[in-house]
């Protein structure tokens, strides 16, 4: 099968599963699990097309493990709907656990290989990115569903990582990033059409997948760090987009996401340009 067709899998799978889970007759509790459509739309094609194997020997192999773990946590939070303090605590514990495994290259490393500084930096970055995404998802946006805005910045940031991977000729990471983009796009389309709330089981795996991709990319080639830092500015694009004057009409529901995506692309293009320049130094 040609790769462009493979990249269409996540979008189709995610949208179809989300529709099926949301509108299937049954209890309200069943409909709360619609968020798992996004990670399923990524994990299934990723396991087939990229075929990383079941065991995680490095940061790239842990990508699927992290997304799957985020899915389980998000599903539990969507089903139980606890207080926000519990949600924040659970996500922090998850982020710290992932940062520990990524920074030490194992969940239970040998005692003499423990790197506390690397763990602290990884944890701080993970918490900062998750905090920013949570702020975007929780903000009241005039012309758009907050969940839609959050997924737009995440999908553009993921697309930027795919472009950086293309520059560095890291084919597995490029394919993984594009598959994650497709899954997010599929759920984004469903969310925009239904104007539903963004489930934690969709937001957390998308954010965790983006972080895992970025870390794996840096772990394999440290020269991408400046590009990744610039790509991080994409997460702040919603503030600039909010200052663009829009008419008080129904067309603004279409214009705002388009403007937001366009503004978010600018730091992404800059990140790719810097990466290209550094590769040729």
pLDDT tens track for 217-243: 998 888 999 999 999 999 999 888 878
Q: Rounded to whole angstroms, how far apart are CA atoms 225 and 231?
A: 10
Q: What mean pLDDT comes out for the span 163-182?
A: 94
Contact 33, 200 (CB under 8 A): no
pLDDT of residue 61: 85
Q: What mean pLDDT comes out for the span 62-69?
A: 92
Cα first-last separation, the chain: 37
Two tokens, residue 246: 């829009």
The whole-chain average pLDDT of the chain stands at: 85
Q: Rounded to whole angstroms, how far apart are CA atoms 112 and 84?
A: 38
Would you say residue 261 lies in a domain?
no
pLDDT of residue 249: 64
> Which domain, by its residues, includes 161?
3-222
- In the predicted model, is pLDDT for residue 70 greater than 90? yes
Would you say residue 239 lies in a domain?
no
Q: What mean pLDDT comes out for the span 256-262?
A: 88
Beta strands in the chain (DSSP E): none
Position 200 confidence tier, pLDDT thresholds 50, 70, 90: very high
Would you say residue 258 lies in a domain?
no
pLDDT of residue 59: 83
Task: Report the percent of the chain where pLDDT is more than 90.
Answer: 48
- In the predicted model, is pLDDT for residue 111 greater than 60? no
Would you say residue 265 lies in a domain?
no
- In the predicted model, is pLDDT for residue 28 greater than 70? no
Would you say residue 269 lies in a domain?
no
pLDDT of residue 143: 63
Q: What mean pLDDT comes out for the span 26-50?
A: 82
DSSP state of 47: I
Pure H helices in 112-199: 116-138, 146-167, 171-194
Q: pTM score, two decimals?
A: 0.89
Position 54 confidence tier, pLDDT thresholds 50, 70, 90: confident
Cβ atoms within 10 Å, residue 269: 13
Would you say residue 46 lies in a domain?
yes
- In the predicted model, is pLDDT for residue 125 greater than 70? yes
pLDDT of residue 49: 86
Please give the tally of structural domains in the chain. Answer: 1
In which region does residue 195 sit, left (phi positive, over 0), alpha (psi from -120 to 50) or beta (all else)?
Answer: left
Helix (H, G, I), strand (E, B) or coil at 140: coil
194 contact partners, CB below 8 Å, separation of at least 6: 22
Would you say residue 235 lies in a domain?
no
pLDDT of residue 2: 45
pLDDT of residue 208: 95
Would you say residue 231 lies in a domain?
no
């Amino acid at each position: 099968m040609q790769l462009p067709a493979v990249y269409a899998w996540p979008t189709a799978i995610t949208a179809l599963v989300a529709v099926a889970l949301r509108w299937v007759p049954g209890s309200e509790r069943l409909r709360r699990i619609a968020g798992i459509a996004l990670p399923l739309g990524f994990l299934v094609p990723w396991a087939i097309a990229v075929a990383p194997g079941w065991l995680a020997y490095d940061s790239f192999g842990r990508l699927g493990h992290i997304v799957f773990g985020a899915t389980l946590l998000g599903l539990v939070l969507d089903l139980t709907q606890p207080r926000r303090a519990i949600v924040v605590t659970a996500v922090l514990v998850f982020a710290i656990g992932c940062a520990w495994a990524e920074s030490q290259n194992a969940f239970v490393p040998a005692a003499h290989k423990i790197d506390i500084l690397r763990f602290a930096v990884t944890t701080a970055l993970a918490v900062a990115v998750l905090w920013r995404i949570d702020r975007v998802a929780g903000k009241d946006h005039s012309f758009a569903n907050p969940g839609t805005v959050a997924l737009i910045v995440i999908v553009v940031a993921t697309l930027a990582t795919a472009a950086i991977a293309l520059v560095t000729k890291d084919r597995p990471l490029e394919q993984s990033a594009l598959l994650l983009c497709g899954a997010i796009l599929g759920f984004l389309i469903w969310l925009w059409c239904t104007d539903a709330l963004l489930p934690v089981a969709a937001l957390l795996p998308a954010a965790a997948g983006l972080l895992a991709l970025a870390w794996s990319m840096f772990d394999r080639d440290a020269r991408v760090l400046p590009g990744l830092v610039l790509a991080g500015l994409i997460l702040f694009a919603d503030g600039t987009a909010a200052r663009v004057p829009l008419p008080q009409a129904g067309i603004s529901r279409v214009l705002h996401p388009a403007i937001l995506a366009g503004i978010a692309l600018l730091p992404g293009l800059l990140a790719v340009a810097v990466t290209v320049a550094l590769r040729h130094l």
